[in-house]
Amino acid sequence: MTDPVRTIKWVQNGFTLTYFNNKPFFIHGALPDEIIHFEIIKENKHHGFGIVKKIIQKNPLRKKIDCPIFPLCGGCSYRHIDYKEEIALKIELLKEFSEIKPYLETGQFDYYFSPEYKYRNQVKIHYLNQKYGFFRLYSNIIVPFSEEGCYNLPEKLNEYIKKQNNPSNKLKEKKIFYINNNIIENQTFNIKLMPEVEWEISTDCFLQTNRFLLREWLDWIKNKVLLLTQKSKVNVLELFCGTGIISSYFLNYLNSIEGYESNSISLKFAKLNYKKYHIKNQFIYKDLYSNGVNIKNNQYDIIIINPPRKGIGKKLIQSLENCNIPMIYSSCNPATFNRDIQILKKTGYKIKHFAIFDFFPRTYHVEIVATLVKNKC
Ligand SMILES: C[S@@+](CC[C@H](N)C(=O)[O-])C[C@H]1O[C@@H](n2cnc3c(N)ncnc32)[C@H](O)[C@@H]1O
């Protein structure tokens, strides 16, 4: 444990900044303007990371922590402040990104927040040597699952996890879903997003985790597709398409869909679903960080991009250079989003609409979505 230090301010990724031995340290579990002792968990020549161990002087905004494994567990960053404060903080931190700042400062954005408890439809649990739980921040040390369960999970999922055991001594992980009030492990399932559409996917596919905001997010994208294309039948290109679930939300307006993705199981389900609903489709396996895509401007009415945290990537950005098709970019990482928008801006694109979906309350993560158009659109 270190000598006492004063924390200075909130910084990105749920940390507060402090200095210890003249070196910047990013602290998990503190608020600004607190005096704390911390444990160093990672350090290099220039900076380090730590977890609060003891609080000598509290910030008045600190609230009683509801979860017994916070801040040891690396999952949540904000269990020590009110959700209201968290929302305000997330907006302030987003203003640090040059391309996002103007929209936030002028109030030109939509904000969708989530119930702060039990919002996840899936969880990854780690097992090792009879222990199971979540990882400690920046490590693969297991913080045992608490008797109270995880507050981000529905009760049924918590109860199910507590009954698990794993005699193996090898580190294993399990992804468990909670869909339509059912627990789902290692299998195919249907997700009903609209009364007339059932999307078949499996536990090996990506699915957005917030069960309360999933439809709101899809609806926002659908409305923007219709607004930007002004067409009754659209031709869509989805990059990092997963099971193609985004376009499933406007199936009635789809003429054709082409999707690129590197998870072959997701591609299998994408094909199967669009075939079932008789939509002209082409789903192609591609590592989009190693390969570009040949984009012809008259081929699609809209491009939907929903990459992992790494963002769009150099190869794909090059493919988009001469493109003038409206785009919708949904991102779970404002830093790579900002970088990509700066590059796309040089090719003539600008943000037209912007929205924040707080898919992950109590954590530092947010989903942001923007529509991008070139001047003539
Ligand atoms: C944020 S998810 C979006 C999936 C889909 N839009 C959805 O909402 O279900 C990102 C997707 O990118 C895919 N992906 C990851 N790395 C990739 C790569 N190198 N090339 C192509 N796709 C990749 C993942 O498999 C995942 O399906």
Mind listing the pLDDT tens digit for each residue in 222-234? Answer: 999 999 999 999 9
* φ, ψ for residue 121, nearest 5 deg: -100, 5
CA-CA distance, 227 to 251, in Å (whole number)?
16
Dist CA 346 CA 271 (whole Å): 35
* pLDDT at 242 (0 to 100): 98
Predicted pLDDT at 352: 97
Radius of gyration of the CA atoms of the chain, in A: 22
Does residue 377 surpass a pLDDT of 60?
no
State whether 238 and 308 are in the same domain.
yes
How many whole angstroms from 308 Cα to the centroid of ligand 1? 6
Predicted confidence (pLDDT) per residue in 293-319, tens digit: 999 888 999 999 999 999 999 999 999
Based on the number of CB atoms within 10 Å of its own CB, is 326 exposed (0-12), middle (13-18) or buried (19 or more)?
buried
State the pLDDT at residue 170.
74
Cβ of residue 240 lying under 6 Å from some atom of ligand 1: yes
Mean of the pLDDT values across residues 322-345? 97
Q: How far is CA 196 from CA 23, 72, 180, 191, 251, in A?
A: 58, 44, 16, 11, 10
Same domain, 365 and 265: yes
Average the pLDDT over 5-21 and give the result.
98
Which tokens is 247 given?
Answer: 């376009």
Q: Tell whether 177 and 257 lie within a shared domain.
A: no
**Distance (Å) from CA 268 to ligand 1 centroid:** 14
In the predicted structure, residue 48 carries a pLDDT above the cut 60: yes
The reported pLDDT for the residue numbered 376 is 58
What is the pLDDT at residue 374?
A: 93
Which of 209, 215, 240, 258 for mutating ligand 1's site (highest number of atoms within 8 Å of CB)? 240
Residues 141 and 244 in one domain: no
Q: If you measure from the C-alpha of residue 272 to the centroid of ligand 1, how many angstroms do you get, rounded to a whole number?
A: 18
Q: Tell me the pLDDT tens digit for each residue of 122-163.
A: 999 998 888 889 999 999 899 999 999 999 999 999 999 998
158 found inside a domain: yes
* Structural domain includes residue 99: no
Q: Whose CA is nearest to atom 19 of ligand 1?
A: 287
Per the structure, the complete domain to which residue 342 belongs is given by 110-114+213-374
Compute the half-sphere exposure of residue 42: CA atoms within 13 Å on the CB side of its CA. 9
Q: What is the mean pLDDT of residues 55-78?
A: 96
Query: Looking at residue 345, which CATH number applies to its domain?
Result: 3.40.50.150
